[in-house]
Amino acid sequence: MTPINEIPSLSIVVPCYNEEEVLPETIQRISATIELLIEKNKLNSSSCVFFVDDGSRDHTWEIIESHAQSNSFVKGYKLSRNRGHQNALLAGLHNAKGDILISIDADLQDDTSAIEAMVDEYAKGHEVVYGVRSKRETDTFFKRYTAEAYYKLLAKLGVELVFNHADYRLLSRKALEELKRYSEVNLFLRGIVPQLGFSSTSVEYERHERFAGESKYPLKKMLAFAVEGVTSFSHAPLRFITGLGFLVSLFAFFMIFWVLAVKLFSDNAVPGWASIVIPVFFIGGVQLLSLGVVGEYIAKIYMETKSRPLYTIEKEV
């Protein structure tokens, strides 16, 4: 690893969706962090923060515009419609300037003081620095348990992930340019970034409660994002249903022998529908489940073949 000699410029990318309640505080804290690092000669004066409005329905964009006029650190992009967190984040990363880029959510649950530690690790020569949650005490038991179980499940499926890391990370310009080569529509950045292969390290921080507003990831979106992560990086579900199909076929084969044995060699054969209906329902359920999993992969192929733009920037400030 070669130490970085020149003072780098930093761009912080913050995707926003209906964040009017927390945004003024977010702008104040991130601006203060940038100013402090410039005073310490860890960043140069062209450093800034890019807020990406992901089609918000509240006054998020008006707040970004207002602060951009009075705060030299603040810049912003407004997407033409809501495209989802990952696309909004990618829009910011693709268009922001700077030698290094840090992505962080607007809700202030990720500790902004970890930004300095990330910059220090970059100065040591690391191209990627992951923000890793040391504690999740502010999460509910259900969210903490399911999140950690999900990371472990993906690891078992062969997906390379950093445990307890979301989208709080530093990327060097070199790493970002490599990331731009990934043109897939089905985005799961926390699975893509480890595949870049550059020198990386982690910085731990304590996760806080959301400063204001409501979570933009209800259970429905969390489940959809979880499915996205599995199907974008692992074909294990397809192999699983192949194995399941083999087991069901084996079970049906033994059922045939059992029915014939009872019919031919005993007087216990009772006319009824149970021995017919139960296997039919069981096999039918497995078939529908298998078709659903296969359909999920086919849908991803369909989305990729259309090659539609991931986002459209309507305004820039």
Q: 274 pLDDT exceeds 60?
A: no
Higher per-residue confidence, 67 vs 159: 67
Q: Are residues 178 and 245 in the same domain?
A: no
Q: 242 pLDDT exceeds 50?
A: yes
Return the SS3 of 130.
strand
Cα separation of 123 and 1, whole Å?
10
Looking at the domain assignment, is residue 129 inside a domain? yes
Looking at the domain assignment, is residue 1 inside a domain? no
Q: Are residues 65 and 184 in the same domain?
A: yes
Q: How many domains does the chain have?
A: 2
Q: Dihedral of the CA atoms 196, 166, 48, 107 (nearest 10)?
A: 170
Strand order in the sheet with 74-79: 200-206, 128-135, 165-172, 100-103, 10-16, 48-53, 74-79, 313-316
How high does pLDDT run on average in the chain? 82
| Span 151-167, pLDDT tens digits | 777 777 777 778 888 88
Q: Are residues 130 and 247 in the same domain?
A: no
Q: What CATH number is given to the structural domain containing 81?
A: 3.90.550.10
Q: Are residues 211 and 242 in the same domain?
A: no
Q: Are residues 137 and 169 in the same domain?
A: yes
Q: Are residues 124 and 44 in the same domain?
A: yes
Q: 294 pLDDT exceeds 70?
A: yes
67-81, 155-169, 220-234: which has the minimum mean pLDDT? 220-234
Residue range 239-247: mean pLDDT, rounded: 71
Range of the domain at 26: 10-218+310-316
> In angstroms, how far is CA 149 from the centroid of its own chain?
15
Residue range 55-73: mean pLDDT, rounded: 95
Cα separation of 151 and 155, whole Å?
6
Q: What is the pLDDT of residue 3?
A: 45
Q: 216 pLDDT exceeds 60?
A: no
Q: Are residues 187 and 55 in the same domain?
A: yes
Q: What is the pLDDT of residue 210?
A: 66
Residue range 182-205: mean pLDDT, rounded: 87
Q: 54 pLDDT exceeds 50?
A: yes
Q: Are residues 137 and 245 in the same domain?
A: no
Q: Are residues 191 and 45 in the same domain?
A: yes
Residues in the chain: 317
The answer to whether 317 and 65 have CB atoms below 8 angstroms apart is yes
Q: What is the pLDDT of residue 161?
A: 79
Cα separation of 315 and 77, whole Å?
6
Q: What is the pLDDT of residue 26?
A: 95
Looking at the domain assignment, is residue 294 inside a domain? yes
Higher per-residue confidence, 100 vs 276: 100
Residue range 247-258: mean pLDDT, rounded: 69
The answer to whether 199 and 258 have CB atoms below 8 angstroms apart is no
Looking at the domain assignment, is residue 210 inside a domain? yes
Q: Are residues 71 and 164 in the same domain?
A: yes
| Span 106-116, pLDDT tens digits | 999 899 999 99
Task: Return all residues near 206 (Cβ < 8 A) that are at least 6 apart.
Answer: 111, 133, 134, 135
Q: What is the pLDDT of residue 151?
A: 73
Q: Which helix (H) or strand (E) holds 103?
A: strand 100-103
Q: Are residues 211 and 250 in the same domain?
A: no
Question: 175: pLDDT confidence band, cut at 50, 70 and 90?
Answer: very high
Question: 6: pLDDT confidence band, cut at 50, 70 and 90?
Answer: confident
Q: What is the pLDDT of residue 221?
A: 62
Question: 262: pLDDT confidence band, cut at 50, 70 and 90?
Answer: low
The answer to whether 14 and 51 have CB atoms below 8 angstroms apart is yes
Amino acid at 227: V
Q: What is the pLDDT of residue 166?
A: 84
Q: Is the pTM of this model over 0.75?
A: no
The answer to whether 101 and 9 have CB atoms below 8 angstroms apart is no
Q: Which residue has the tokens 């083999």?
A: 246
Q: What is the pLDDT of residue 213?
A: 56
> Where does 126-166 have alpha helices with state H?
141-156
According to DSSP, the β-strands at 165-172 and 100-103 are antiparallel
Q: What is the pLDDT of residue 50?
A: 97
